[in-house]
């Protein structure tokens, strides 16, 4: 034990506490002691079927992958999604819900879908929706999501004003939708699996970790 502590594989968290594996110790264990197991054919088929699907969205693919990984390992899985801000606009669509509201949909080149409910200006009819969609697709297709607000103002706003009476009002609604921060999403699967680990028999640790998971803080991005 003393030799392992001297080599940095064990450490004491408190003066009176016992020794526990250090970060270096865990890393040595992962790198040298864990032997890969042959994956059952059933699990291989499940993973292959998931990635062969042509209709699945990126977010769903990530969630399903996290769930499969947790099922295979009995651990909690933490995955960091793609940087959505770098995705480029492939297509705009506006689906009216009522005379005053619609769902604005943005599909990106990576299969990511952003959708938000927006307020329609008074008198904004089906013809205005069609013209707006055409303008947005013509002017903003291929633009990264992070640059979309800027491009909307300088590439599309003037054209909206020219062809739609309420172009300014619609621009405000759409701009508000695009102001949502586009950070990489963090995905968790099977959080309760953590409770099977001896490190998390301490309820205070569990509460702290669950709180961090709910907040999806920047710390998780380093872990994922």
pLDDT digits (tens, 9 = 90+) for 8-47: 888 877 767 778 888 888 888 888 876 777 777 887 887 7
Domain for residue 32, yes or no? no
Domain for residue 190, yes or no? no
Q: Provide the domain count of the chain.
A: 1
Calculate ∠ Cα 170-87-132, nearest 5°: 25
d(CA 112, CA 118): 19
Domain for residue 121, yes or no? yes
pTM, full prediction: 0.55
The mean pLDDT of 122-145, rounded to a whole number, is 93
Alpha-carbon torsion (175, 177, 181, 183), positive or negative? negative
Domain for residue 170, yes or no? yes
Domain for residue 111, yes or no? yes
d(CA 202, CA 70): 22
Q: What is the DSSP letter of 206?
A: H
Domain for residue 47, yes or no? no
pLDDT digits (tens, 9 = 90+) for 166-207: 989 999 998 888 875 556 678 888 888 888 888 777 888 878
CATH number at residue 159: 3.30.390.60
Asked whether residue 92 carries a pLDDT value surpassing 90, the answer given is: yes
Domain for residue 63, yes or no? no
Q: 178 with 189: CB under 8 angstroms?
A: no
Domain containing residue 133: 85-178
Domain for residue 37, yes or no? no
Packing angle of the helix pair 58-73, 41-52 (nearest 10 deg): 170
Asked whether residue 224 carries a pLDDT value surpassing 80, the answer given is: no
């Amino acid at each position: 034990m003393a030799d392992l502590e001297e080599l940095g594989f064990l450490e004491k968290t408190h003066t009176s506490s016992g020794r526990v594996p250090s970060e270096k110790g865990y890393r040595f264990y992962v790198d040298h002691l864990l032997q890969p197991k042959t994956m059952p054919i059933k699990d291989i088929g499940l993973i292959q079927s998931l990635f062969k699907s042509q209709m699945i969205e990126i977010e769903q693919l990530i969630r399903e992958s996290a769930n499969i990984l947790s099922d295979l390992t009995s651990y909690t899985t933490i995955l960091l999604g793609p940087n959505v801000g770098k995705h480029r606009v492939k297509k705009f669509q506006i689906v009216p819900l009522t005379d005053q509201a619609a769902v604005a949909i943005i599909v990106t080149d990576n299969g990511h879908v952003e959708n938000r409910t927006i307020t329609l200006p008074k008198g904004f009819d089906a013809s205005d929706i069609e013209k707006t969609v055409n303008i947005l697709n013509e002017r903003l297709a291929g633009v990264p999501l992070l640059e979309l607000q800027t491009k909307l103002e300088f590439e599309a706003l003037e054209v909206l004003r020219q062809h739609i009476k309420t172009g300014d009002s619609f621009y405000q609604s759409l701009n508000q939708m695009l102001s949502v921060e586009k950070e990489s999403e963090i995905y968790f699967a099977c959080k309760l699996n953590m409770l099977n680990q001896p490190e998390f028999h301490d309820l205070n640790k569990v509460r702290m970790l669950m709180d961090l998971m709910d907040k999806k803080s920047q710390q998780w991005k380093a872990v994922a």
